[in-house]
């Protein structure tokens, strides 16, 4: 079951290596370096949104890079409205109904986000729990409702096609 070691020195080296690995993991789990810990948990996804800054007291703090988030959001919204070329992209998406679908998605997202933000700032603990639940549950609920509506629309269109035939 256990591995046989050739000498006591080899066993001591292995023990020292394991202790250093454990201290590294403890530092990661206790968020001693917030940016590094979040980077490890998100597999590097959060690196572009965080930066380390030294405050007036000389302490190193991690801050959110709002400029990167704003640029990414504006580029995504711009790409949604201006697909391949400007006039034909807007006209084509409006003709297909994609523009209205996108506007509805953005409106629902803004409404839910503002409602959750308002509830999180409330002093009532029930509203805070509701706000946190909205942040985590609302995307899943909206996705579930959307899939159910798409399935209903497909069955409705199939039945109407059967009636035509």
Direct distance between the N- and C-terminal alpha carbons of the chain, in angstroms, rounded to an integer: 71
Which 3 state secondary structure label does DSSP give 64? strand
Residues spanned by the domain of 37:
33-69
The verdict on residue 19 lying in a domain is no
122 in a structural domain: yes
- What local confidence, expressed as pLDDT, does residue 84 receive? 52
The predicted-structure confidence for 40-57, as pLDDT tens digits, reads as follows 777 777 778 778 888 888
Instruction: Count CB neighbours of 119 within 10 A.
Output: 19
16 pLDDT band (50/70/90 cuts)?
Answer: very high
- The domain total for the chain is 2
Flag whether 92 is in a domain: no
The pTM is what? 0.36
Examine residue 4 and state whether it is found in any structural domain, yes or no: no
Of 40, 14, 16, 17, nearest to 27 (Cα)?
40
**In the prediction, which pLDDT does 1 show?**
44
In-domain check, residue 102 = yes
Residues 61 and 103 both lie in one domain: no
| 56, part of any domain | yes
pLDDT at 88 over 60: no
């Amino acid at each position: 079951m256990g591995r046989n070691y050739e000498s006591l020195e080899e066993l001591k080296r292995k023990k020292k290596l394991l202790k250093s690995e454990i201290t590294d993991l403890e530092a990661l789990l206790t968020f001693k370096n917030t940016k590094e810990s979040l980077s490890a948990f998100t597999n590097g996804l959060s690196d572009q949104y965080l930066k380390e800054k030294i405050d007036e007291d000389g302490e190193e703090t991690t801050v959110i890079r709002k400029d990167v988030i704003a640029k990414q959001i504006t580029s995504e919204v711009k790409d949604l409205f201006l697909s391949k070329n400007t006039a034909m992209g807007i006209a084509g998406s409006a003709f297909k109904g994609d523009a209205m679908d996108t506007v509805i998605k953005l409106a629902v997202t803004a409404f839910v986000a503002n409602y959750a933000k308002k509830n999180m700032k409330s002093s009532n603990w029930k509203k805070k729990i509701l706000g946190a639940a909205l942040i985590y549950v609302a995307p899943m609920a909206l996705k579930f409702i959307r899939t159910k509506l798409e399935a209903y629309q497909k069955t409705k269109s199939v039945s109407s096609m059967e009636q035509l035939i």
